[in-house]
Structure 1
Amino acid sequence: MVVELKDLAPLLLKKERANGDIKPAVLTDVLRDGKAANARRKELINVIERHPVLSDRNMMFRNHTERYEFGLKKAYHYVKLLQDGGYTNPEDQQILYKALGEPLGFDVHRA
């Protein structure tokens, strides 16, 4: 009986995870600069996910004109969110920007 790797891989991965002594929550906190920073990152990502305009990621399904117009709308709402939410910390702004999932029209000016 020949077992293909694609069928065997999930079983091997499950076995390795069961035998592992590393807790994913602890590892995530270490990789994300601590528990408080990770909680803050999740909180900021949820702000974007709850926003009706900023959570839209369907840019590739729009034509050029629609992408341009929606990009302007998204940029406006991003700046408005920063102002209204009082997000003055550059790290918070970067987390929010990355949560958008795509660059905005003024990305070159953020450098």
Structure 2
Amino acid sequence: MTKVATKASLSPGRRRLLELMQEINFGRIEELTVRDGEPSFDPPPQVVREIKFGGENGPRQEVSVEDFALKSQATQLFAQLDYLGNGTVLSLDVKHGLPFRMSVKKTVRA
């Protein structure tokens, strides 16, 4: 039986990142530091929101929900952060409050 990842099961940093994506709804997060696979908000990342006139511009309703099963996009994002380990997410595109695409930077040791 496969264990379903939930919001409540996330570390505080991952929960904060999930909620930030839900608040943005459409846009991107830039220059997010990752340490040991965990998002770090020191220094704080930059947020760029997309505003669509006549569209959904507010936060997702899920942002205020305490617990729910994570969508596959979120679990894939957290798996990629684990794989990155230490580095920087240069840009994380967010659509409908979910991660869509990201660019990462990692120093390669000689």
Aligning the two structures, in what range does the TM-score lie when normalised by the shorter sequence?
A: under 0.3
Give the TM-score taking structure 1 as reference length: 0.27
- For normalisation by structure 2, the TM-score amounts to 0.27
- Which structure dedicates a bigger proportion of its chain to helix? 1
- Bigger relative contact order, structure 1 or 2, given CA contacts below 8 A and separation 6+? 2
Q: Which has the higher strand share?
A: 2
Highest Rg: 1 or 2?
Answer: 1
